[in-house]
Amino acid sequence: MNKQVNIRVEDLEGAVTYPTDAFLSREYLEAEKHLLWPRVWQMAERVEDIPAVGDWFTYNVADDSIIVIRVAEGTAPGAIKAFHNVCPHRGRQLVDTPPGVHSVRGHNRKSFVCGFHGWTFNALGENTYILDPQDWGGALNPECTSLSPVKLDVWGGWIFINMDLDAEPLLDFLGDAARILSHFEFEKMRYKWRKWTVYPCNWKTGLEAFMEPYHVAGTHTQLLAYGDYYAYSKAYGMHGVSGFDQRDPQFKMSESSTVTRAGKGEDPRLSTYQLIRENYETLNYAASTETLVNAASRLVAELPEGTPAGDVIAHWMKSAKADDAARGVIWPEIPPEILAEAGLAWHVFPNMSVLQGVTFALCYRSRPFGDDPNQCIFESYAIERYPEGGEPRTEWEESEPTAENWGSVLAQDFSNMAWVQRGMKSHGFRGPLPNPHQERKVTNFHRNLADIMGRGTPSVIARKPETQPA
Ligand code: FES
Ligand SMILES: [Fe+2]
């Protein structure tokens, strides 16, 4: 993972392009199976899904399947274990994972018995039964008969796994993403809903449809009525962030980079409410919370006409925070400079996307489906902070990519993804030309991907123009 990156972060400030192999080539997909997925930290599931000892699930990615199981209560390291889902005898999957099944799950598991010759393993992955072990003449030992371990760590309420036992610690890998986002206390949030579908595009095409607000003006035109979507984006090592920006530097203010920002127009009391309500309702009740929408609905009644946008936001946040406190949802204290740095949405390498608010987050994940570069498993889920025990019961729902199922905004995103996948195959396509300011999260993804894959390095078309001395 620590190879020399052959294009620098600074190069992304200029115009770059990169080949389309990563999206289209079967050979590239095969290479990912060896070079990417077995060597990188990736989110397997939320901790809340396995609260009791013996709760377990499979996490499947490309040709690999991992069993994750809770073996002790609490959050101490080692309370959750992960193993490769394969019997060390002759390689049968211990738990069958048919294609098209999101994940296999269960409770109260004390052992795994292989269906082929009956070898048995306890929840720690240790072998507890072999038929006729004497036949091996002493060659069998715990090393060769136990399940192959997988590295596991927990951050933000997410269980991450890494098949590379020599991988750097999770927190080192997350780096600035963890330094900044830990303040949001995602571990105190719980699933609001979760959906998945098999979608006809590469997993990167799907993920990249949610990496930048540059597409809002072209795709989600209706959203422009209440807010502008000019964005900055920034690389943080392996990961990247985007946030709202102002085209005119004199209007820049830190709050404008987050999802809770003022609406545009004459009266920010009204437009802020319109903006947040529109986002809430059309993003499947995920890009905000009911508390924030209700508090925004009172802005006109509670504030005098002419209140400046900054004061409107401050009042809105204060009253929403008090409303939440009254129902037992205590907001984390996030320093203003962290809130500003956190921006709107993060890409956590390789396949995780998080659009965060103080009490909620809207997240995406995508993975390859089968051996076809033109298909992926696409998932979206919302998490939110609830009063103790007030969270809904949810599970992964397979949902056709329609507006009824996912909300009208996501349906608009879906309406691009398959056609990007198709369009990139055109002999007339000269390669992506991402926006150097607004889509740097995407180019940084390809910079890091190329480093790991040893191919596809973005090339510089033009350096960033030198700023003229004043
Ligand atoms: S393959 Fe599992 S016991 Fe033989
Ligand atoms: Fe979108």
Residue range 397-424: average pLDDT?
96
Confidence check: pLDDT of 311 > 80: yes
Residue 254 has pLDDT above 60, yes or no: no
> How many whole angstroms from 404 Cα to the centroid of ligand 2?
16
Asked if 386 and 367 count as a contact pair (C-beta separation under 8 A), the reply is no
CATH number at residue 108: 2.102.10.10
Q: What is the mean pLDDT of residues 393-414?
A: 95
Q: In which order are the strands placed within the sheet that holds 127-129?
A: 111-113, 120-122, 127-129
C-alpha of residue 56 to centroid of ligand 1, in Å: 21
Domain count, the chain: 2
pLDDT of residue 252: 60
Q: Which ligand is nearest to the CA of 88?
A: 1
Pocket probe mutation, ligand 1, options 87, 112, 135, 144, max atoms within 8 Å of Cβ: 87
Of 178, 177, 344, 326, nearest to 260 by C-alpha is: 344
**35, 46: one domain:** no
What is the distance in A from the centroid of ligand 2 to the CA of 209?
A: 6
pLDDT of residue 349: 98
**Ligand 1 pocket residues where CB is under 6 Å:** 87, 89-90, 92, 114, 116-119
The Cα–Cα gap between 309 and 316 comes to 10
* Assigned domain for 380 exists: yes
CA 194 to chain centre: 13
27 and 49 assigned to the same domain:
no
Identify whether the C-beta of residue 359 lies closer than 8 Å to the C-beta of residue 289: yes
Mean confidence (pLDDT) of the chain: 94
**pLDDT, tens digit (0-9, with 9 covering 90-100), for 332-343:** 999 999 999 999
133 and 226 share one domain:
no
Last residue of a domain, one of 137, 166, 195: 166
- Is 203 within a domain? yes
Question: Does pLDDT of 406 surpass 80?
Answer: yes
Residue at which a domain ends, from 111, 141, 166: 166
Ligand nearest the Cα atom of residue 345: 2
* Ligand 1 centroid – CA 115 distance (Å): 7
DSSP class of 98:
-
| Residue 293 belongs to some domain of the structure | no
91/114 Cα distance (integer angstroms): 10
Q: Which helix (DSSP H) or strand (DSSP E) does residue 65 occupy?
A: strand 64-70
- Residue 113 Cα to ligand 1 middle (Å): 9
Report the pLDDT value the prediction gives residue 470, as an integer from 0 to 100.
43
Average pLDDT over residues 11-20: 95
Q: Which atom of ligand 1 approaches the CA of 94 most closely?
A: 2
pLDDT for the residue numbered 20: 98
413 three-class SS: helix
Q: State whether 31 and 180 are in the same domain.
A: yes
Cα(425)–Cα(418) distance, integer angstroms = 12
Tell me the CA–centroid distance for residue 210 and ligand 2, in Å.
6
Residue 196, beta-bridge partner list: 379, 398
Residue 29 near residue 371, CB atoms below 8 Å:
yes
In this predicted structure, what is the pLDDT of residue 100? Answer: 87
Residues 357 and 411 in one domain: yes
pLDDT of amino acid 266: 87
Residue nearest to atom 4 of ligand 1 (CA): 117
pLDDT for the residue numbered 143: 96
- Identify the residue whose C-alpha is closest to ligand 1 atom 1: 90
Residue 281 pLDDT exceeds 60: yes
Question: For a pocket test of ligand 1, which of 67, 95, 119, 146 has the largest count of ligand atoms closer than 8 A to its C-beta?
Answer: 119
Question: Across residues 302-327, what is the average pLDDT?
Answer: 95
Residue-wise over 225-264: b if at least 16 C-beta within 10 A, else e?
ebbbbbbbbbbbebbbbbbbbeeeeeeeeebbbbbbbbbb
Pocket test for ligand 1, best of 67, 92, 120 (most atoms within 8 A of CB): 92
Residue 300 lies inside a defined structural domain of this protein: no
| CATH code, domain with 395 | 3.90.380.10
Distance 98 CA to ligand 1 centre (A): 18
Apex 457 CA angle, 438 and 453, nearest 5: 115
Domain shared by 90 and 155, yes or no: yes
Q: Are 206 and 397 in contact (CB under 8 A)?
A: no
Which range of residues forms the domain containing residue 348?
Answer: 1-39+171-262+318-470
- pLDDT (tens digit, 9 = 90+) per residue, 100-152? 899 999 999 999 999 999 999 999 999 999 999 999 999 999 999 999 999 99
Task: Give the pLDDT band of residue 4 (cuts 50, 70, 90).
Answer: very low
Would the pLDDT of 421 be above 60? yes
According to DSSP, residue 335 is labeled -
Q: What is the length of the chain?
A: 470
The pLDDT, as a whole number, for residue 249 is 65
Q: 86: CA distance to ligand 1 center in Å?
A: 9
Tokens in use for 129?
Answer: 């039964």
How many Cβ atoms from other residues are within 10 Å of residue 1's Cβ?
16
Looking from the CA of residue 118, the nearest atom of ligand 1 is 3
Ligand 1: which atom is nearest the Cα of residue 87? Answer: 2
Secondary structure letter of residue 346 according to DSSP: E
- Ligand 1 nearest atom to the CA of residue 91, by list position: 1
86-100, 221-235, 303-317: segment of lowest average pLDDT: 221-235
Q: Residue 305 falls within a domain, yes or no?
A: no
Residue 296 counted as domain residue:
no
Report if residue 352 sits inside a domain.
yes
Strands of the sheet with 105-106, listed across from one edge:
80-84, 64-70, 56-61, 105-106
Q: What are the distances in angstroms from CA 91 to CA 69, 94, 142, 194?
A: 20, 8, 17, 32
**What confidence score (pLDDT) does residue 464 get?**
80
Question: Is 286 a domain residue?
Answer: no
From atom 3 of ligand 1, which residue's Cα is the shortest distance away?
A: 117
Percent of the chain topping pLDDT 90: 85
Judge if 354 and 228 occupy the same domain. yes
User: In the listed set 102, 133, 166, which residue is the last one of a domain according to the structure?
Assistant: 166
